[in-house]
Structures are given as C-alpha cells and as structure tokens.
Amino acid sequence: MPHAYETDGAAIYRQSFATIRTEADLARFTPEEEPVVVRMIHALGFVGLEASVAFTPGLAEAARTALMAGAPILCDARMVSEGITRSRLPAENEILCTLHDPKVPALAQHLSTTRSAAALELWRPRLAGAVVAIGNAPTALFHLLNMLEDPGCPRPAAIIGCPVGFVGAAESKAALMEAPPVSSMAVMGRLGGSAVTVAAINALASRKE
C-alpha cells in the first residue's frame, strides 16, 4: 500500500516553521533574530539549538544592511558557499571560498597552520564590509580573530561563526563572543556546521520563509 505524505513543498515549510515556533523557546530573540534562529533549527531538525545561539546586539540588522548593499559573503568551506541559495541574495552578492586556491597549501606551510586558516589570508582584499560565514573549521575562526587584532586589517560587517567539532570549536566561538571585533553571532559549544551556517545566511539574505 502506498505511503501517504505531504507533497506540497510550501506547505511542508509552513508546517515545519509553525512546529518550531510552537516548540522552541524563542522569547529572548528580537524580531530580527527570530527568523534566523528558526531557520537554523529547521536546518538541523533540532529544537533546543536555540539555547546555544548567541547574537551581539544588532547583528541581524548589520548583516542584512551589508548584504543589501552588495557585500560579498566569505565562506570557509565549499559546503557553506555551495549551500547558500543564490535566489535569496538581495544584490547578486559574490560568494567566495578560497580554500581550494592553489596558493593555499604553500601558504599554510609558511604560516604553520591549517589550509582552512591560511585560506583566509586571501580574503584580505575583499574583507572590508563583507559578511563572513564560518561553518566548518575552528582554525579559520581563530585565524580570523588573530587577523582582526591588527588595526590595519580590513573589518567585515558581520561574522557568522558556527564551526563544528570537538577540538577548538567551542573555544573559537567563545573567543569570538567574549570580545567580538564586529557584529557577530555563533552557535556556542560543539554544535554548528555548514548546514546551520547556510541557514543563517539564507535567513539574513531574505525574510521570505
């Protein structure tokens, strides 16, 4: 006997987001932040994620303003850059991931760091006013924070810091949110990943659910 299931994609989204808003504790988030958190929960299928999401005041507004002005989105991993929905972007924003640039392996060796971290050095010409999306590598987030300690380093408009893992992930995000160099958000602790980072960018890029 055939299985019966919902086949209307729009209806699935509506029901999913309604379920999240019924079950999740979203009271502490502003109206600008709430749709971002809802979409992040949806991406992981995990009500409870909201307890780990942290924003600096005005992050959502800063990121949306930057994107509407055409800011590039700088991503630490191809899983992030490929997951962003281009049709949601308000200004045909450039999406850049430098991880596989041929210069990166030698740069990583020279800097004695990971390729994920070294790849950020290639962001410098595009970093001013950009929206940064780090969803995979804690070393990338640590390297970015070290870069931004230099007063001469260009400043992004916003940092979405959601690297995932058991080594350095919690620590890198704690460092970001303890002394945010610019408007920032993070999923604290070990949780995070490319899917939740993409969800945050997609929600910031367009209010359409």
From the list 3, 42, 100, 110, the catalytic residue is 42
Is residue 189 a contact partner of residue 163, using CB atoms and an 8 Å limit?
no
d(Cα 100, Cα 95) in Å, to the nearest integer?
Answer: 14
Output b/e per residue, 123-154; b: 16+ Cβ within 10 A: beebbebbbbbbbbbbbbbbbbbebbeeeebe
Q: β-strand 183-187 against 53-55: which pairing, if any?
A: antiparallel
Helices assigned H by DSSP within the chain: 9-23, 34-44, 59-68, 78-83, 104-111, 115-118, 138-148, 169-178, 194-205
| Residue 79: count of CB within 10 angstroms of its CB | 16
42 is catalytic: yes
Give me the active site residues, please.
42
